Amino acid sequence: MMQTTLIVKGMTCGHCEKAVHNALEQLEGVTGVEVHLDTGKVDVVYDDAHITIEKMKEAIEDQGYDVIV
C-alpha cells in the first residue's frame, strides 16, 4: 500500500468534502480517504498496482476542483 497527500483547491463546505471523498472512495485500488477541509489536504491510501495518482486527480477534477500534488 502507498500513501499520498493531495492539495485540493476550491473545497469550501461539507458538500465539497463529501464530493471529493466519494469520488476517490469509488476508485478501484483506493482503500482509505481522509479529507481535511480546513487545510485543503486529502490523504489517500491506495494500491499502486490498481490506481495512479493521475487517475485520482482526474476523479477530483471531474467534481470541479483543482488538484496540486
pLDDT at 69: 74
Q: How far apart are CA 46 and CA 53, in angstroms?
A: 9
pLDDT at 11: 96
| Domain coordinates in residue numbering, the chain | 8-44
1 CB-contact burial (10 Å; exposed 0-12 / middle 13-18 / buried 19+) = exposed
Between 3.30.950.10, 3.30.70.100, 3.90.1150.10, 1.10.10.1110, what CATH number should domain 8-44 receive?
3.30.70.100
The one-digit pLDDT tens for each residue of the chain (69 residues) are: 999 999 999 999 999 999 999 999 999 999 999 999 999 999 999 999 999 999 999 999 999 999 997
